[in-house]
A and B are shown apart, each in its own frame.
Chain A
Amino acid sequence: AQKITQTQPGMFVQEKEAVTLDCTYDTSDQSYGLFWYKQPSSGEMIFLIYQGSYDEQNATEGRYSLNFQKARKSANLVISASQLGDSAMYFCAMREVPYGNNRLAFGKGNQVVVIP
């Protein structure tokens, strides 16, 4: 069963605008972690932000913030002040503690294209 759902079609974003990428997840565990990765055309996965299931505050890392709504099982990524270099695929991923802390389940990704 799909654990991470990312269903938005490809998005075009105006430079300097904010963009929100949706992610919903499915787990019965109480302890888990949520990650967002960026994958440019070069292929390398670049870590952006992390949210632990017990973290009370929404995570922020520079221009990236995570809108964590635990009851709704959603972990949306917000990119503020988009830059041309933000054009990439964005993946939401989950780590379920019972499966070990080195195993990630990824969604299918969101394509973002930033236009000048």
Chain B
Amino acid sequence: DAGVTQSPTHLIKTRGQQVTLRCSPKSGHDTVSWYQQALGQGPQFIFQYYEEEERQRGNFPDRFSGHQFPNYSSELNVNALLLGDSALYLCASSLALGSPFNEQFFGPGTRLTVL
């Protein structure tokens, strides 16, 4: 049973460029959440997708956008990259209608470096 997968593993971009990160959820999961983890910090919630719609959003600018596909996989897009966007981007999958516990399974992350 494959867990959450993310691609690419590492990415280097320059300021002003655009980037797309990809995530495939754990088999059977229908909800994908994205988190940004800056160096030395805990992950910060970006947004969550369910049924191909953004359901919740954290305190991130509109430069951050996403998409969910019918197979539940998801993309995170960041436009007009800033140096401060350098971080580990984590994808987590879960069930929308799971148990009260509702564990989120995290992928290995994509490390984005903006030069």
Chain A stretch 55-114: residues in CB contact (< 8 A) with chain B: 91, 93, 95, 99-109
1/0 per residue B45-81: CB within 8 Å of A? Answer: 1001010000110100000000000000000000000
Residue A21 CB within 8 A of the other chain: no
Question: Using Cβ atoms and an 8 Å threshold, which residues of chain B touch A99?
Answer: 56
Which of B33, B35, B58, B101 makes the CB contact (< 8 A) with A33? B101
Which of A37, A103, A106, A108 makes the CB contact (< 8 A) with B33? A103
Question: Using Cβ atoms and an 8 Å threshold, which residues of chain B touch A52?
Answer: 100-101
Q: What 6 pairs between A and B have smallest CB-CB spacing?
A: A106-B42, A45-B106, A43-B109, A44-B108, A101-B102, A106-B43
Interface CB pairs A-B, < 8 A, 20: A6-B42, A33-B101, A43-B109, A43-B111, A46-B106, A47-B104, A91-B42, A99-B56, A100-B55, A100-B56, A101-B100, A102-B48, A102-B50, A102-B56, A102-B96, A102-B102, A103-B48, A106-B42, A108-B41, A109-B41
